[in-house]
């Protein structure tokens, strides 16, 4: 096999692995589709095996020509450079799975104030006008639930926004305040 073809195989493998891995990762971040986590998991295993095979194959290749040796070395480095990128994507996914990203929308038809989000994490919103929405990142600390307490028309109301969450169950959610009212007397 020609030495330039060997170099191109290494480069194309590394670049294709990076691009496809990045597309899967960014698709998950944008869509929050948990099926992409499984696709990404199997992709990492399959691409890891292919990249390892190509890397070992390139390591066995030698050449008298110094330019060819440089090209082979660059191809090996490109493949190895994908390792910290994959580790970075892994930690980014773990971080995202550690938070509920809830968009709270006021569906009560009136201004609500003193909004307290309690349970997994404590957050607050001073005021929401009708149909106004705010997104809060709520850390998941063990097994927990998310409750919303707020004042509307001088009465304190209490709602369950998320009945159960546990570590690595982070996701993007929408919750309509006023959809599950339980007035506190």
Express each pLDDT in 39-53 by its tens digit. 988 998 999 899 999
pLDDT score for 148:
95
pLDDT score for 133:
95
Asked if 132 and 150 touch (Cβ cutoff 8 Å), the reply is: no
- Please check the confidence at residue 5 and state whether its pLDDT lies above 50: yes
Angle in degrees, CA 162, 136, 127, rounded to 5: 100
Rounded CA separation 37/44 (Å)? 10
- Please check the confidence at residue 180 and state whether its pLDDT lies above 80: no
pLDDT score for 1:
56
- Please check the confidence at residue 33 and state whether its pLDDT lies above 60: yes
Domain segments of the chain: what residues? 3-96, 100-183
| Percent of the chain residues topping a pLDDT of 70 | 95
CA atoms 27, 33, 37, 39: torsion sign:
negative
Q: Mean pLDDT score of the chain, rounded to an integer?
A: 88
- Please check the confidence at residue 19 and state whether its pLDDT lies above 90: yes
- Please check the confidence at residue 183 and state whether its pLDDT lies above 50: no
CATH architecture assignment, domain 100-183: Sandwich (2.60)
Express each pLDDT in 83-124 by its tens digit. 899 888 888 888 888 999 999 999 998 999 999 999 999 999
Q: Hunting for tokens 């007035």 — which residue is that?
A: 183
Side by side, which strands form the sheet with 133-139? Answer: 133-139, 99-106, 171-177
Question: Average pLDDT of 151-158?
Answer: 88
Q: What is the DSSP string of the chain?
A: --HHHHHHHHHHHHHHHHHHHHHHHHHHHHH--THHHHHHHHHHHHHHHHHHHHHHHHHT---S-HHHHHHHHHHHHHHHHHHHHHHHHHHHHHHHTTEEEEEEEE-SSS-EEEEEEEESS-EEEEEE-TT-EEEEEEE--SSEEEEEEEEETTEEEEEEEEEEE-TT--EEEEEEETSS-EE--
- Please check the confidence at residue 184 and state whether its pLDDT lies above 50: no
* Confidence grade of residue 2 (pLDDT, cut at 50, 70, 90): low
């Amino acid at each position: 096999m020609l030495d330039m073809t060997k170099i191109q195989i290494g480069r194309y493998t590394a670049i294709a692995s990076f691009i496809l891995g990045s597309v899967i990762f960014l698709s998950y971040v944008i869509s929050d589709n948990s099926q992409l986590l499984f696709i990404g998991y199997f992709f990492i295993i399959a691409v890891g095996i292919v990249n390892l095979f190509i890397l070992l194959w390139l390591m066995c290749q030698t050449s008298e020509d110094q330019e060819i040796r440089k090209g082979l070395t660059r191809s090996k480095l490109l493949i190895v450079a994908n390792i910290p990128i994959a580790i970075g994507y892994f930690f980014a996914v773990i971080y995202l799975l550690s938070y509920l990203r809830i968009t709270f929308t006021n569906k009560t038809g009136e201004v609500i104030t003193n909004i307290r989000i309690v349970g997994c994490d404590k957050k607050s919103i001073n005021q929401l006008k009708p149909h106004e929405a705010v997104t809060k990142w709520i850390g998941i600390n063990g097994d927990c639930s998310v409750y919303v307490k707020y004042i509307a028309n001088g009465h304190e109301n209490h709602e369950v926004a998320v009945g159960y969450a546990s570590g690595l169950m982070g996701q993007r959610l929408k919750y309509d305040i006023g959809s599950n009212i339980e007035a506190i007397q």
